[in-house]
Amino acid sequence: MTNRKDRLKKLVEVQEQLKALHEMRRAGYLAKAVAAEQEAADIAARFDAPDSLSTLFPEIYQQRIAAARAERDRNLDNARREAGSLATATARTNMVERAYRDARRDDERQRSDRERLDLIEQKRGPEK
């Protein structure tokens, strides 16, 4: 059976991966939100261009602008949710890292205590 220190070390690695996943997902949502906003701005610029077909199909332009802005809002909401998940994952990672450091310190302390006891027993052995 593995000791507590090894299990905590593996758990720290998993928590770091989970944290990285949330960071990547949040960044992806933010990038999609920026792209959707850019699309809405491009469509709006074409709407006002003198050679555009906006005079023939103004509702299509308005629908596409509204859809792009709705997509931006959805991605921003998803990014906010991921930010919350990221904060939770960060807190969990910090807690597990503290527990791992404590377990590692305890393990080192026990090992050094055993080594000292072995030295003491070795010194006492020849006297008997």
pLDDT at 1: 45
Mean pLDDT of the chain: 90
| pTM, full prediction | 0.76
pLDDT at 8: 93
Q: What is the pLDDT of residues 68-123, one digit of tens each?
A: 999 999 999 999 999 999 999 999 999 999 999 999 999 999 999 999 999 888 88
CA distances from 49 to 19, 56, 57, 66 (A): 45, 13, 13, 18
Q: Which of these, 81, 74, 79, 72, lies nearest to 26 by C-alpha position?
A: 79
pLDDT at 67 over 70: yes
pLDDT at 81: 97
126: Cα separation from own chain's centroid: 59
